[in-house]
Amino acid sequence: MNAQNFADAATESPAGTPRDIKMVARDVNVYYGPKQAIKGVSIEIPTDEVTAFIGPSGCGKSTFLRTLNRMNDTVSGARVEGDIRLDGEDIYDASMDVVQLRARVGMVFQKPNPFPKSIFENVAYGPRIHGLAASRGEMEQIVEQSLKRAGLWDEVKDRLNDSGTALSGGQQQRLCIARAIAVDPEVILMDEPCSALDPIATAKIEELIHELRGRYAIAIVTHNMQQAARVSQRTAFFHLGHLVEYGDTSEMFTNPREQRTKDYITGRYG
Protein backbone atom coordinates (compact mmCIF):
# COMPACT_ATOMS: atom_id res chain seq x y z
CA MET A 1 0.00 0.00 0.00
CA ASN A 2 1.45 3.39 -0.90
CA ALA A 3 1.38 6.56 1.17
CA GLN A 4 -1.58 8.02 -0.70
CA ASN A 5 -3.67 4.95 0.00
CA PHE A 6 -2.76 5.22 3.65
CA ALA A 7 -3.92 8.81 3.63
CA ASP A 8 -7.22 7.83 2.04
CA ALA A 9 -7.72 4.99 4.47
CA ALA A 10 -6.90 7.29 7.35
CA THR A 11 -9.03 10.25 6.48
CA GLU A 12 -12.21 8.41 5.56
CA SER A 13 -14.34 6.42 7.92
CA PRO A 14 -16.22 3.46 6.41
CA ALA A 15 -19.16 5.77 5.80
CA GLY A 16 -16.86 8.15 3.96
CA THR A 17 -17.05 11.00 6.46
CA PRO A 18 -13.72 12.77 6.82
CA ARG A 19 -11.95 12.32 10.12
CA ASP A 20 -10.52 15.16 12.12
CA ILE A 21 -6.78 14.56 12.00
CA LYS A 22 -4.44 15.69 14.78
CA MET A 23 -1.08 14.35 13.66
CA VAL A 24 0.24 13.33 10.26
CA ALA A 25 3.45 11.39 9.70
CA ARG A 26 4.84 11.00 6.18
CA ASP A 27 7.63 8.67 5.08
CA VAL A 28 9.24 8.48 8.48
CA ASN A 29 12.53 6.60 8.85
CA VAL A 30 14.33 6.14 12.13
CA TYR A 31 17.92 4.92 12.48
CA TYR A 32 19.92 3.85 15.50
CA GLY A 33 23.41 4.39 14.17
CA PRO A 34 23.54 2.41 10.93
CA LYS A 35 20.53 0.26 11.84
CA GLN A 36 17.16 1.29 10.44
CA ALA A 37 14.35 0.65 12.92
CA ILE A 38 11.47 2.44 11.13
CA LYS A 39 11.05 2.21 7.37
CA GLY A 40 8.93 4.70 5.45
CA VAL A 41 6.02 4.88 7.87
CA SER A 42 3.08 7.15 7.01
CA ILE A 43 0.10 7.42 9.30
CA GLU A 44 -2.52 9.84 10.52
CA ILE A 45 -3.63 10.10 14.13
CA PRO A 46 -7.27 11.21 14.38
CA THR A 47 -8.44 13.63 17.04
CA ASP A 48 -11.43 11.80 18.45
CA GLU A 49 -10.23 8.24 18.31
CA VAL A 50 -7.80 5.93 19.98
CA THR A 51 -5.13 4.50 17.69
CA ALA A 52 -3.50 1.23 18.78
CA PHE A 53 0.01 0.29 17.63
CA ILE A 54 0.46 -3.47 17.57
CA GLY A 55 3.12 -5.86 16.30
CA PRO A 56 5.79 -8.29 17.44
CA SER A 57 8.52 -7.30 19.86
CA GLY A 58 11.27 -5.23 18.26
CA CYS A 59 9.19 -4.16 15.24
CA GLY A 60 9.53 -0.46 16.09
CA LYS A 61 6.30 0.47 17.91
CA SER A 62 8.02 2.36 20.74
CA THR A 63 10.51 3.92 18.34
CA PHE A 64 7.72 5.22 16.14
CA LEU A 65 5.63 6.41 19.09
CA ARG A 66 8.63 8.40 20.32
CA THR A 67 8.95 10.20 16.99
CA LEU A 68 5.57 11.81 17.67
CA ASN A 69 6.88 13.98 20.51
CA ARG A 70 10.58 13.89 19.65
CA MET A 71 11.49 11.65 22.54
CA ASN A 72 14.02 10.00 20.21
CA ASP A 73 15.98 13.27 20.42
CA THR A 74 17.02 12.07 23.86
CA VAL A 75 18.26 8.69 22.57
CA SER A 76 21.91 8.86 21.58
CA GLY A 77 22.57 7.67 18.04
CA ALA A 78 18.91 7.95 17.01
CA ARG A 79 18.13 9.85 13.81
CA VAL A 80 14.68 10.63 12.43
CA GLU A 81 13.85 11.42 8.78
CA GLY A 82 10.53 12.37 7.27
CA ASP A 83 7.74 14.77 8.01
CA ILE A 84 5.62 14.80 11.16
CA ARG A 85 2.98 17.44 11.75
CA LEU A 86 0.83 18.44 14.67
CA ASP A 87 -2.13 20.48 13.44
CA GLY A 88 -0.11 21.15 10.31
CA GLU A 89 2.98 22.35 12.20
CA ASP A 90 6.26 20.57 11.44
CA ILE A 91 7.35 19.26 14.84
CA TYR A 92 10.94 18.73 13.63
CA ASP A 93 11.26 22.33 12.46
CA ALA A 94 14.18 24.17 14.07
CA SER A 95 11.76 26.73 15.49
CA MET A 96 9.77 24.08 17.40
CA ASP A 97 10.09 24.40 21.17
CA VAL A 98 10.59 20.77 22.20
CA VAL A 99 9.58 21.32 25.84
CA GLN A 100 6.34 22.89 24.65
CA LEU A 101 5.86 20.08 22.14
CA ARG A 102 6.14 17.43 24.84
CA ALA A 103 3.47 19.21 26.84
CA ARG A 104 1.19 19.23 23.79
CA VAL A 105 2.04 15.61 23.03
CA GLY A 106 2.29 13.94 26.43
CA MET A 107 3.63 10.48 27.12
CA VAL A 108 2.86 7.68 29.55
CA PHE A 109 5.40 4.88 29.85
CA GLN A 110 5.25 1.15 30.39
CA LYS A 111 6.54 1.35 33.93
CA PRO A 112 4.79 3.97 36.05
CA ASN A 113 7.44 6.61 36.80
CA PRO A 114 6.12 9.14 39.31
CA PHE A 115 8.63 11.66 40.60
CA PRO A 116 9.83 11.01 44.18
CA LYS A 117 7.63 13.90 45.31
CA SER A 118 4.16 14.26 46.76
CA ILE A 119 1.08 13.31 44.77
CA PHE A 120 0.22 17.02 44.54
CA GLU A 121 3.69 17.96 43.30
CA ASN A 122 3.72 15.21 40.71
CA VAL A 123 0.71 16.82 39.05
CA ALA A 124 1.66 20.45 39.75
CA TYR A 125 5.19 20.12 38.36
CA GLY A 126 4.30 20.53 34.66
CA PRO A 127 1.80 23.38 35.11
CA ARG A 128 4.39 25.20 37.23
CA ILE A 129 7.14 24.84 34.62
CA HIS A 130 4.78 26.02 31.93
CA GLY A 131 3.38 28.86 34.04
CA LEU A 132 -0.21 27.62 33.74
CA ALA A 133 -1.38 28.68 37.20
CA ALA A 134 -1.38 32.28 38.39
CA SER A 135 -2.06 31.44 42.05
CA ARG A 136 -1.99 28.61 44.54
CA GLY A 137 -5.78 28.37 44.17
CA GLU A 138 -5.52 27.94 40.41
CA MET A 139 -2.85 25.30 40.87
CA GLU A 140 -5.06 23.41 43.31
CA GLN A 141 -7.84 23.50 40.74
CA ILE A 142 -5.59 22.15 37.99
CA VAL A 143 -4.35 19.35 40.26
CA GLU A 144 -7.85 18.40 41.34
CA GLN A 145 -9.25 18.45 37.82
CA SER A 146 -6.33 16.43 36.42
CA LEU A 147 -6.65 13.81 39.16
CA LYS A 148 -10.40 13.66 38.55
CA ARG A 149 -9.93 13.17 34.83
CA ALA A 150 -7.38 10.46 35.55
CA GLY A 151 -9.91 8.71 37.79
CA LEU A 152 -7.68 8.98 40.85
CA TRP A 153 -9.09 11.91 42.84
CA ASP A 154 -11.36 9.93 45.17
CA GLU A 155 -8.53 7.61 46.12
CA VAL A 156 -5.98 10.34 46.89
CA LYS A 157 -7.84 13.51 47.81
CA ASP A 158 -7.13 13.04 51.53
CA ARG A 159 -3.45 12.23 51.04
CA LEU A 160 -2.17 14.68 48.44
CA ASN A 161 1.02 15.22 50.44
CA ASP A 162 1.92 11.54 50.48
CA SER A 163 4.66 10.44 48.11
CA GLY A 164 3.55 9.47 44.60
CA THR A 165 5.81 6.45 44.82
CA ALA A 166 3.81 5.12 47.81
CA LEU A 167 0.77 4.47 45.60
CA SER A 168 -0.06 1.07 44.08
CA GLY A 169 1.18 0.39 40.54
CA GLY A 170 -2.21 1.09 39.00
CA GLN A 171 -2.59 4.27 41.01
CA GLN A 172 0.91 5.35 40.01
CA GLN A 173 0.04 4.87 36.36
CA ARG A 174 -3.12 6.98 36.79
CA LEU A 175 -0.96 9.58 38.55
CA CYS A 176 1.33 9.62 35.51
CA ILE A 177 -1.72 10.09 33.30
CA ALA A 178 -2.88 12.95 35.58
CA ARG A 179 0.60 14.47 35.25
CA ALA A 180 0.34 14.33 31.46
CA ILE A 181 -3.18 15.78 31.52
CA ALA A 182 -2.21 18.64 33.85
CA VAL A 183 -0.41 20.58 31.12
CA ASP A 184 -3.48 20.43 28.89
CA PRO A 185 -2.09 18.22 26.12
CA GLU A 186 -3.64 17.67 22.71
CA VAL A 187 -2.26 14.17 22.24
CA ILE A 188 -1.43 11.46 24.76
CA LEU A 189 1.00 8.71 23.77
CA MET A 190 0.95 5.55 25.85
CA ASP A 191 3.58 2.84 25.54
CA GLU A 192 2.15 -0.38 26.96
CA PRO A 193 0.66 1.52 29.90
CA CYS A 194 -0.90 -1.60 31.44
CA SER A 195 1.84 -4.17 30.99
CA ALA A 196 3.05 -3.76 34.59
CA LEU A 197 -0.48 -3.81 36.03
CA ASP A 198 -2.85 -6.48 37.31
CA PRO A 199 -6.17 -7.11 35.50
CA ILE A 200 -8.19 -4.85 37.80
CA ALA A 201 -5.80 -1.91 37.47
CA THR A 202 -5.69 -2.61 33.72
CA ALA A 203 -9.47 -2.46 33.48
CA LYS A 204 -9.40 0.91 35.24
CA ILE A 205 -6.88 2.32 32.77
CA GLU A 206 -8.90 0.99 29.84
CA GLU A 207 -12.02 2.63 31.26
CA LEU A 208 -10.06 5.82 31.65
CA ILE A 209 -8.89 5.69 28.03
CA HIS A 210 -12.56 5.55 27.00
CA GLU A 211 -13.29 8.64 29.06
CA LEU A 212 -10.26 10.55 27.77
CA ARG A 213 -11.09 9.79 24.18
CA GLY A 214 -12.60 12.79 22.47
CA ARG A 215 -10.79 15.22 24.73
CA TYR A 216 -7.35 14.06 23.61
CA ALA A 217 -6.05 12.23 20.57
CA ILE A 218 -4.61 8.99 21.95
CA ALA A 219 -2.08 6.54 20.53
CA ILE A 220 -1.38 3.41 22.56
CA VAL A 221 1.14 0.63 22.08
CA THR A 222 -0.12 -2.72 23.31
CA HIS A 223 0.83 -6.37 23.05
CA ASN A 224 -2.60 -7.37 24.15
CA MET A 225 -4.90 -7.97 21.17
CA GLN A 226 -8.01 -7.94 23.35
CA GLN A 227 -6.92 -4.61 24.74
CA ALA A 228 -6.37 -3.17 21.27
CA ALA A 229 -9.84 -4.40 20.28
CA ARG A 230 -11.41 -2.98 23.44
CA VAL A 231 -9.85 0.47 23.58
CA SER A 232 -9.07 1.52 20.03
CA GLN A 233 -11.02 2.56 16.97
CA ARG A 234 -7.95 2.50 14.66
CA THR A 235 -5.19 -0.07 14.64
CA ALA A 236 -1.74 0.11 13.08
CA PHE A 237 0.13 -3.16 12.63
CA PHE A 238 3.92 -2.84 12.55
CA HIS A 239 6.29 -5.54 11.39
CA LEU A 240 10.08 -5.27 11.02
CA GLY A 241 9.96 -1.48 10.95
CA HIS A 242 7.18 -1.27 8.37
CA LEU A 243 3.62 -0.22 8.88
CA VAL A 244 2.00 -3.23 7.26
CA GLU A 245 -1.63 -2.36 7.73
CA TYR A 246 -3.62 0.51 9.18
CA GLY A 247 -7.35 0.86 9.48
CA ASP A 248 -10.50 0.51 11.53
CA THR A 249 -9.89 -1.79 14.48
CA SER A 250 -13.05 -3.84 14.02
CA GLU A 251 -12.25 -4.31 10.33
CA MET A 252 -8.66 -5.28 11.00
CA PHE A 253 -9.56 -7.83 13.64
CA THR A 254 -12.33 -9.45 11.63
CA ASN A 255 -11.04 -9.05 8.12
CA PRO A 256 -7.32 -8.17 7.90
CA ARG A 257 -6.10 -7.33 4.42
CA GLU A 258 -2.59 -8.69 4.86
CA GLN A 259 -1.55 -12.24 5.66
CA ARG A 260 1.09 -10.99 8.12
CA THR A 261 -1.58 -9.11 10.06
CA LYS A 262 -3.77 -12.16 10.13
CA ASP A 263 -0.93 -14.35 11.38
CA TYR A 264 -0.12 -11.89 14.14
CA ILE A 265 -3.60 -11.27 15.44
CA THR A 266 -4.44 -14.94 15.42
CA GLY A 267 -1.31 -15.58 17.48
CA ARG A 268 0.70 -17.43 14.88
CA TYR A 269 3.78 -15.44 15.77
CA GLY A 270 4.63 -12.76 18.24
Of 62, 171, 235, 261, which lies in the binding site for Mg ion, with binding defined by CB under 5 A? 62
Selection from ligand ATP, Mg ion, none that 63 binds (CB < 5 to 8 A by kind) is: ligand ATP
Of 37, 183, 229, 252, which lies in the binding site for ligand ATP, with binding defined by CB under 6 A? 37
Which residue, among 12, 38, 34, has the nearest Cα to 25 in the 3D structure? Answer: 38
Of 10, 50, 59, 228, which lies in the binding site for ligand ATP, with binding defined by CB under 6 A? 59
Minimum separation from the CB atom of position 245 to ligand ATP (A): 15
Radius of gyration (C-alpha) of the chain in whole angstroms: 18
Decide whether 62 or 227 has the Cβ nearer to ligand ATP: 62
Q: Cα–Cα distance between 11 and 5 in angstroms, integer?
A: 10
- Contacts to ligand ATP from residues 71-110, by CB under 6 A: 75, 77
Of 32, 92, 109, 115, which lies in the binding site for ligand ATP, with binding defined by CB under 6 A? 32
Of 45, 46, 49, 60, which lies in the binding site for ligand ATP, with binding defined by CB under 6 A? 60
Q: Cα–Cα distance between 124 and 137 in angstroms, integer?
A: 12
Contact between 63 and Mg ion per CB under 5 A: no
Q: Cα–Cα distance between 159 and 115 in angstroms, integer?
A: 16
Contact between 62 and ligand ATP per CB under 6 A: yes
* Burial (CB count <10 Å: 0-12, 13-18, 19+), residue 51: buried
How open is the CA angle 212-72-109, to the nearest 5 degrees? 40
How many CA atoms lie within 13 Å of 233's alpha carbon, on the beta-carbon side? 18
Q: What is the DSSP string of 158-200?
A: T-TTSBGGGS-HHHHHHHHHHHHHTT--SEEEEESTTTTS-HH
Piece in contact with ligand ATP (CB under 6 A), picked from 50-58, 172-180, 204-212, 228-236: 50-58
Decide whether 62 or 122 has the Cβ nearer to ligand ATP: 62
Contact between 218 and ligand ATP per CB under 6 A: no
Question: Which residues make up the interface to ligand ATP (CB under 6 A)?
Answer: 32, 37, 55, 57-63, 75, 77
Question: Which residues make up the interface to Mg ion (CB under 5 A)?
Answer: 62
